[in-house]
Structure 1
Amino acid sequence: MLGMKEYEQDYIDACRSRVETQVVMFHEVAQAARDHGDADVSHLEGALESLEYEYFNNMLIVLDGYFVHRLRGVEGKDGNALNEVRVLARSLMENGGTVMADPQIRLDPAHSILGLEVGAPITLTLQQYRRISDAFLREIESKFSRND
């Protein structure tokens, strides 16, 4: 596939809808598990925390995958949300879930969405995923949206 310099707004909206559905689904499952009063839930919170990290780390890879062919020239290299997702997804896939540096991107933790530094473990929570996915999709709309 060729690099993409534009995405149709309908496609962006559909991706945003899938992201929201996935967030709501996780929240509902976690809440249902917590509300199940007659089960032994002594290990539930630890299990839900581990599931949350795995789920949202994987959802970050999926989010990047929706727009994986975006052109870097349009994306920029200034440490924006698109850059942050690119670096984090690559770190999850290639560096065991530890943030790695990308010499082509100026990603400053002090100005990034999640504030993760090189060498930090990536363990996304629902709230962190919501923040990064919202910022990412706003940036996609700003730089890549095509309204026909």
Structure 2
Amino acid sequence: MLGRKTFEQREVDQAKAMIAALIAGRATLAEAGADPAAVAVVDPEFFTGLTLVLDRPFVHRVRSVLGRGPGALNELELIVASIIEHERVFTVGTVLTYAVEGSFTGLVPDETIRLGAEQFERLAVGVFAELEELFVVPA
């Protein structure tokens, strides 16, 4: 597939709905009396894996629209690349700019990625906002 400079609002809405459904399912399990210790073990795996689900529908976005500076979509790209290519060790190369201060997740380079619910939520909100601002063409 070629790189994409635009996405339709329905694509963003579909991804939002998918993420919301997965988070609601997790919340249902927790509210149904799942052992809190088990939830504490599973949550970092769940929310870290959910970053892959968040990224996939928009993986062909082009850098010319986004740039190389800090932002939610670039942070997501760094997280996903770190999960896939660096065994979940948060790795920042030279292509994208990243600073812990002002980031959505607060990840520190060289730490193992174990996202919590709040970190994932901040990242997802930022990702969807950037997608709608930079990639969605108003109807």
Per the normalisation by structure 2, the TM-score is: 0.94
Report what 1:49 is aligned to. Answer: 40
Q: Distance in 2 between matches of 1:27 and 1:127?
A: 13
Unaligned runs of 5+ in 1: 35-43
Q: Offset of 1:45 from its aligned partner? A: 2.6
Q: Percent identity?
A: 27
Q: Is residue 88 from structure 1 mapped to residue 59 from structure 2 by the alignment?
A: no
Cα deviation 1:94-147 (Å, max 9, x = unaligned): 111110012111111111111111111211112221111111110111110023
Q: Is the 8 A contact 2:89 2:111 kept in 1?
A: yes
Q: 2:138 aligns with which of 133, 143, 147?
A: 147
Moved over 3 A (4+): none
Q: Is residue 112 from structure 1 mapped to residue 103 from structure 2 by the alignment?
A: yes
Per the normalisation by structure 1, the TM-score is: 0.89
Trace 1:25-40 onto structure 2 (pairs within 5 A). Answer: 25-34=25-34
Count, aligned residues: 139
Report what 1:9 is aligned to. Answer: 9
- Bigger radius of gyration: 1
Unaligned runs of 5+ in 2: none
Question: Match of 1:15, as an amino acid?
Answer: A
Cα deviation 1:44-74 (Å, max 9, x = unaligned): 3332112111111111011111100000111
Report what 1:134 is aligned to. Answer: 125
Q: Is residue 103 from structure 1 mapped to residue 69 from structure 2 by the alignment?
A: no
Question: Match of 1:53, as an amino acid?
Answer: P
Secondary structure, in 3 states, of the residue corresponding to 2:3?
A: coil
Secondary structure, in 3 states, of the residue corresponding to 1:146?
A: coil
Q: Distance in 2 between matches of 1:27 and 1:14?
A: 20
Trace 1:59-78 onto structure 2 (pairs within 5 A). Answer: 59-78=50-69
Q: Distance in 1 between matches of 2:19 and 2:97?
A: 26
Q: What is the CA RMSD across the aligned residues, in angstroms?
A: 1.2
Q: Distance in 1 between matches of 2:134 and 2:60?
A: 14
